[in-house]
Structure 1
Amino acid sequence: MTKPKLKLYLAAPRGFCAGVDRAIKIVEMAIEKWGAPVYVRHEIVHNKFVVDGLRDKGAVFVESLEDCPSDRPVIFSAHGVPKAVPAAAQARQMVFVDATCPLVSKVHIEAERHYQSGLQMVMIGHAGHPETVGTMGQLPDGEVLLVETADDVATLQVRDPERLAYITQTTLSVDDTAGIVAALKARFPTIVCPHKEDICYATTNRQAAVKAIAPQIDALLVIGAPNSSNSKRLVEVGRAAGCDYAQLVQRATDIDWRALDGVGTVGITAGASAPEVLVNEVIDAFHDRYDFETEIVETAQENVEFKVPRVLRAPA
C-alpha cells in the first residue's frame, strides 16, 4: 500500500535547554554521590518520561519537604522554591541541592534587589505554577503582586504607584507578555523594568522557531507535558502565528492521527523539558504512516551551559 506523501518541518532550537539539562544532571550526580534514594521536591522538570527515568535510577519525587526523611539528600526542582523551603531544610540539618535554573535565580536576585530599594514588585506569571510560587516566595507577603493578563493590570491595588518594578516568569509567551508590559507602563509610567528580559533565551528561541514554520504548515505537534508552561505556550504561539491546528503530545502514542488526515505539511517542535528521544519517537511514528521529506528550520543556535553546584563536584 502506498503511503501518503508529507513534508515535516523540524523547528530548531527545540527540546532541552541548559537549565533542564543541568537539573537532570544534578539528580543523576546526587544519586551517584550519595546512593539511592535521593529525594526531589516537586518534579525536577515537567516531563513524565524524564521523571520516570530518574525514578528508575533511585529518585523519589515528593511535593513537600515534610515528606523527606532528614537523613537523605533532597533536591529542589529547576522551577525554584520559596525561601522558606531551604530555610526549613537547614533547620532540619538536611543535605540539600538547589537545582533552580540560573535564569530563574536571576529573577529571584532581581526581585530581592528591588525590594531592598523599597520597590513593590509586580510579577507577570501563571498563578500556582511552581516557578511563580517560588519567585513570589522570595519576598514577604504583599511585596509581590501577580498579574496574569493585561486586564489584571487595571484592577491592581499597589502601595505606591511611583515605587514599582516588574518581573516575569521565564516561560511565558513573548507576545502576550509584551501586551501586559505595555499595560503596566501605560498605568504606571515610572515602573522599573528588568535590566535584561526575564523570559529566558530558550523560551524565546523556541517560540521564534515555531513562528518561522507556522505559516508553512497545516498542523503543528508540540512534544511536551500538559503541566509544562513553555510547551503550552508553543501551542498558543503556533496558532497565533497562522497554524490553526496545534496539538500538545507527550509521546507518539498521543498523536491524533485522524486529525492529520489529508494534511500535506506538519511542523514538529519540543518544549524545553522534552528530550530529543521523544522527538525521534514521533518522527518514527510518521515514518510508519507516511512517505515524507524533512526540512530543518533553524532560527538560532544555542551553546549555553550551566555548571552543577560545587557540592556535587567535590568528592563524597
Structure 2
Amino acid sequence: MTSSQDDSKAVHVAFYASDWLAGTRGYTPAQTGVYITMLAMMYEHTKPLPYDDARLARLCNCPAGTFKKILAVLIEDGKIVRLDAGLWNKRAGRELEAAKGAMDRASGKGKKAINARWSKAKGESDHAQKQSVTLRSDEQLNQNQKDEKTNKFNESWIHEYYPSNTNQNQNQNQSKEEEEDTRARKSPDPKRSLIGQITHALGFDHLGIVPRYWMASDAPVIVQRWVTDLGLTADEVLTVATQNMRAHGSPANGPKTLTRHMQDYAAAKHAPKLEPTPQKDHSTVTVFKPSYQDRRAAAADDALRERIEGAIRNRSPSRGGISFD
C-alpha cells in the first residue's frame, strides 16, 4: 500500500490483539494512545499521513511538544516510518492490501452470481414465451423438463441459495494464513543469534519490532553468560524464557529480569545427586541419663560416705569413738 492508493475505504482490516499487546508492551498510556490513533487514521485514509505535527497533535488530542517526543520514540522503534508521501506503518500497508484483495475477490464472485441469475431468468422468460406461442411434441416436452430439472442444480442455483460461500472461503483463507503465521512464530530459525531466537519465541519480532530493553548494548552479553557461566544450552534458555512468559502472562522486561530464573534453573540442574534417606537403626539401646537433681543427690551421698569412712580411719584409740574433726 503506497500513497497512490485510491480513495476507496477498506470495510475492515484484521486486528490481532496478542500482536498489539506484545508490540506496545513497555509504552506509556500517552505513547499507546498516539500510536493507535495514528494507525486508525492511516487505515481510514488508506495512505500515509502528511507531515504536519501541529495538525496530528490536535487529532491525537495531545500537546504539540509531547506529540513530537512521542513521534520520535515511535520512529526510533520502527513503528512509524518516514516516506516521501508522509508518515506510514508497514503492517498497516500489508493489512490494507489484504483487505482490498478480499474485497476484490468477493466483488468478482458477486458479479458472477448476478450474471448467472440474470441468464437463468432470461432463459426462463424465453422458455415461457415460446411455450405460449407454439405447441411442443411429447419428446420436446420431456427434454425440456429434463433441462429444467438440471438447471435447478447449476452454479447459479448454488450461489442464489448459498450466498455465504464467499465469506466461508474468505474465512478459510484467513485461517490458513493465521496457522502459517503461528507456525512461523513457533519455529525459530537456527541461523538466528541466541537473543534473536529468544525474542522470536516471545513473539516480539512478529511485527518486525523488538522492544528497546531487548536491544540494549549489554543484552547479548547477559544472554551469552547464561550459556558460558551457568552452563545452560540454547534449548534450555528458550524453555525457561517461554515458561516464564506463560507463568506471568507476559514476556519478561529484558534479559536482566530473566537472569534470576536462569540461575534457579542452573542451580537445580547442577545440584548434588539425590541420595536415599538413611534408615533409622531401631536396635540401638537408649541410655538413661539422670536428671540434675538426681546427680546432686548422688554427689551428696558420695561426700557423706567419704566423710564417714575418713572419720573411721581417724578414730582416736583413747576415746574409742569416731571423730568428725
TM-score by length of 1: 0.26
Higher relative contact order (CA 8 A, sep 6+): 1
Q: Which has the higher helix share?
A: 2
Name the larger-Rg structure.
Answer: 2
Q: Which has the higher strand share?
A: 1
TM-score by length of 2: 0.25
